[in-house]
């Protein structure tokens, strides 16, 4: 389409968003059309999460200026110091969803128990679980951080949702995603129809489709892990790492990239190909179950990984097949290109 006055297609040159401008709202609505029985409830939850991420993003980009930098001095259920931005993100996500009548119950990394919908509000058919600000130890040093969310249908029949509603296998997720607050703010999500990325244009406050149908590249580039703990790993994980580095005489030679913010490490590997792992370790003398939480970190990221052609494992089992036993349960976590995750499982099966 050539504009007579301009003599060229205005969208092609002036428009920074390629030929088509697709907002996240339009994209989500278009995808909903693929579900004839859809009521729009899930669509509206996704809208609310997008809104929450815009509000949180407006604070993360000014964290050093609005006096919410630094910690509250209090600890959360994980025994981690709660950063002010953690608290803020947590409250925004809850307050945007507690009164809509779309959610039966919520749970957050920042709270020991499930978060009931206040008595004065109706409950709805969905369950929302989230890590409001993953990687928050990086806030004060201006490194990318992220929000992770997971959405299930409630299992309980009615009334206020239950803990059981929050402890579902990842295979039963209806939607999951993350927001990365980095050089730009991106929202990446899936409802089981592929993985799609949207970049926030803060000048207009809109998320625009920038990465449709994201797939792990066939030729992975990076491995991401905290090798500072290598001496605490099991033999299988140490041998796996040597294999990745080509130190076992093989011909692999991946580069190490580790940010210390799982959302950022996952996001880079999703776009470049690679594997992220946080294995069990014996830092405190006994073998741990890993650091990352199954319900609101590993399962949603595993859902995205499988939707993008990769996979995720606890070293022996696919993460999406795991039945959570408690809200803050930790697991060893390997996620990325399928062949790299399966190689980790092989080494652990052979060497422990």
- Enumerate binding residues for ligand P6P (CB under 6 A): 134-135, 137, 226, 260-262, 278, 291
Shortest Å distance, C-beta 300 to ligand P6P = 13
Shortest Å distance, C-beta 291 to ligand P6P = 6
User: b vs e for 32-60, b when ≥16 Cβ sit within 10 Å of the residue's Cβ?
Assistant: beeeeeeeebbbbbbbbbbebbbebbebb
Phi, psi of 262 (to 5 degrees): -60, -40
Q: Which is nearer to ligand P6P, 156 or 329 (CB)?
A: 329
Q: Which is nearer to ligand P6P, 3 or 227 (CB)?
A: 227
Phi, psi of 347 (to 5 degrees): -65, -40
Q: Which is nearer to ligand P6P, 28 or 302 (CB)?
A: 302
Shortest Å distance, C-beta 307 to ligand P6P = 20
Q: Which is nearer to ligand P6P, 93 or 262 (CB)?
A: 262
Q: How far apart are CA 303 and CA 178, in angstroms?
A: 11
Going along the chain, which residue ranges are E strands?
71-75, 81-83, 103-108, 115-116, 126-134, 145-153, 175-181, 185-190, 196-201, 206-211, 222-224, 255-256, 274-278, 311-313, 333-336
Copy the structure tokens of residue 62: 């000014």
SS3 336: strand
Copy the structure tokens of residue 6: 């301009």
Shortest Å distance, C-beta 258 to ligand P6P = 7
Shortest Å distance, C-beta 137 to ligand P6P = 5
Shortest Å distance, C-beta 80 to ligand P6P = 7
CB 174, CB 192: distance < 8 Å: yes
Phi, psi of 274 (to 5 degrees): 160, -170
Q: Which is nearer to ligand P6P, 106 or 148 (CB)?
A: 148
Q: What is the total residue count of the chain?
A: 352
Shortest Å distance, C-beta 138 to ligand P6P = 7
Q: Which is nearer to ligand P6P, 144 or 311 (CB)?
A: 144
Q: Which is nearer to ligand P6P, 79 or 249 (CB)?
A: 79
Shortest Å distance, C-beta 341 to ligand P6P = 16
Q: How far apart are CA 279 and CA 252, in angstroms?
A: 21
Task: For residue 93, give Cα distances in angstroms to 86, 302, 304.
Answer: 11, 22, 20
CA dihedral sign, ordered 93, 333, 308, 182: positive
Q: Which is nearer to ligand P6P, 134 or 165 (CB)?
A: 134
């Amino acid at each position: 389409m050539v504009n007579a006055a301009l003599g060229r297609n205005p969208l092609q040159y002036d428009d920074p968003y390629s030929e088509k401008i697709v907002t996240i709202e339009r994209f989500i609505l278009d995808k909903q059309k693929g579900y004839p029985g859809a009521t729009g409830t899930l669509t509206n939850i996704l809208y609310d999460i997008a809104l929450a991420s815009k509000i949180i993003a407006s604070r993360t980009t000014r964290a050093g200026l609005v006096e919410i930098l630094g910690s509250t001095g209090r600890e959360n259920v994980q025994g981690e110091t709660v950063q002010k931005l953690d608290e803020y993100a947590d409250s925004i996500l809850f307050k945007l969803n507690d009164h809509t009548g779309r959610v039966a119950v919520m749970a957050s990394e920042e709270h020991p128990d499930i978060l009931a919908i206040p008595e004065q509000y109706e409950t709805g058919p969905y369950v929302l679980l989230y890590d409001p600000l993953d990687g928050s130890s990086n806030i004060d040093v201006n490194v990318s951080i992220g929000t992770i969310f997971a959405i299930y249908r409630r299992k309980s029949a009615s009334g206020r949702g239950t803990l059981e509603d929050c402890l579902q296998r990842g295979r039963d997720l209806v939607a999951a995603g993350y927001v990365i607050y980095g050089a730009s703010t991106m929202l990446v999500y899936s409802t089981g129809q592929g993985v799609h990325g949207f970049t926030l244009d803060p000048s207009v406050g809109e998320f625009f489709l920038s990465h449709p149908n994201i797939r792990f590249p066939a030729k992975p580039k990076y491995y991401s892990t905290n090798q500072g703990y290598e001496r605490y790993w099991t033999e299988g994980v140490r041998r796996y790492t040597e294999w990745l580095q080509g130190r076992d005489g093989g011909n692999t030679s991946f580069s190490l990239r580790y940010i210390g913010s799982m959302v950022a490490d996952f996001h880079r590997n999703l776009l470049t190909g690679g594997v992220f792992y946080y294995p069990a370790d014996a830092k405190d003398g006994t073998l741990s179950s890993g650091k990352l939480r199954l319900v609101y970190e590993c399962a949603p990221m595993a859902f995205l990984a499988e939707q993008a052609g990769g996979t995720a494992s606890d070293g022996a089992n696919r993460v999406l097949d795991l039945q959570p036993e408690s809200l803050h349960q930790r697991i060893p976590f390997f996620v990325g290109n399928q062949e790299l995750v399966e190689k980790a499982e092989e080494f652990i099966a052979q060497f422990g």
